Amino acid sequence: MGRMGRHLLGLAVAGLTLATGGSAFAELGQPAPWEWTLQQSGSPVMDNIVWFHNFLFVLITVITLFVLALLVIVVVKFNARANPVPSRTTHNTLIEVVWTLVPVLILVGIAVPSFRLLFLQLDIPKADLTVKATGKQWYWSYAYPDNGKFEFDSLMAQDKQPRLLGVDNEMVVPVNKVIRVQTTGADVIHAFALPAFGVKIDAIPGRLNETWFKATKTGMYYGQCSELCGKDHAFMPIAIRVVNDQEFASWVEAAKKKYASGGTSTYASAAGPTQ
């Protein structure tokens, strides 16, 4: 085998390793090496986002090819050599109506599913559970007001996989339940983003933002702070563990004890002097 052949074989092996390694990594709810598509969806909102993305992709591809075809026709058919005496046409009512109406119809066709998606994201359904996520420099705190009012910090863990996404204490939620997420910032603006659930919302000091998700499969899901918030912005991941109802109930019991003395900042002011 020549040098070239060895190189090609090496490349093929590397490609295969990447492909298989990539698929092994392509777990639900986290980025994969060499990823060029959206992350696998884990919620109804993300299903809708994926559909809308694919719909627009087909639409813009067709439009681009159509415009390219028109340009090629013009270049070939109407260049000075092929068409020495140009037409003096300035108006054509039919064509003008068509090129006004067709784009309008296309835009309406985009606007309808776009607004449907927007309302799906912003009309928060009746929540089964509320979790408050507070962005801090540079970690997240999660409070569970419905489950015994405990709160805990979630910091990136150096020794955990996936690298830069693993945390010490994950946010835990039950599967197939509507989770209302309230976000705020304790110091500067952060953003709570979880691609697999189609969630991205700012966490702003002095303000309470709301969003929701319903995880349809159990497992680990990862996201990151998505508003540049200081030097460790890249090191405050969001890790959500989706479990069944039983596991969630027992986690709540354990968490209540574990975080009993934890952060009181969220509840101190709400409870007031009666606490």
Q: Measuring CA to CA, which residue among 180, 183, 174 is closest to residue 238? A: 183
Rounded to whole angstroms, what are the CA distances from 68 to 41, 58, 62, 110? 33, 15, 10, 22
Alpha helices (H) in the chain, listed in sequence order: 3-25, 44-77, 93-122, 245-258, 265-271
Element (H, E) at 220: strand 219-225
Which range in 19-27, 39-47, 106-114, 182-190 contacts Cu ion by CB under 5 A? 182-190
From the centroid of its chain, how far is CA 256?
30
Least Å from the CB of residue 137 to Cu ion: 8
Q: Would you say 46 or 203 has its CB closer to Cu ion?
A: 203
* Nearer residue to Cu ion within complex by CB, 240 or 255: 240
The footprint of Cu ion on this chain (CB under 5 A) covers a number of residues equal to 4
3-state secondary structure of 211: strand
Give the residue with the Cβ less far from Cu ion, 136 or 180.
136
Q: Please give the Cα distance from 256 to 238 (Å, whole number).
A: 21
Which range binds Cu ion by CB under 5 A, 73-81, 89-97, 98-106, 185-193?
185-193
Task: Tell me the closest approach of the beta carbon of residue 226 to Cu ion, in angstroms.
Answer: 7
Which residues ranging from 201 to 230 are in contact with Cu ion (CB under 5 A)?
225, 229
Nearer to Cu ion, 42 or 237 (CB): 237
CB of 58 to Cu ion, least distance (A): 34
Q: Which of 177, 200, 233, 256 binds Cu ion (CB under 5 A)?
A: 233
Examine residue 200 and tell whether it contacts Cu ion (CB under 5 A). Answer: no
From the list 159-167, 195-203, 215-223, 232-240, the region that binds Cu ion by CB under 5 A is: 232-240
Shortest separation between residue 135's beta carbon and Cu ion, angstroms: 7
Q: What gap in Å lies between CA 139 and CA 233, rounded to an integer? A: 9
Give the separation between CA 55 and CA 49, rounded to whole angstroms. 10
Q: How far is the CB of 227 from Cu ion (least distance, A)?
A: 5
How far apart, in whole angstroms, are the C-alpha atoms of residue 191 and residue 134? 10
For residue 148, give the amino acid letter.
Answer: G
User: Toward Cu ion, which CB reaches closer, 229 or 240?
Assistant: 229
**Using CB under 5 A as the criterion, which residues of the chain lie in contact with Cu ion when the complex forms?**
190, 225, 229, 233
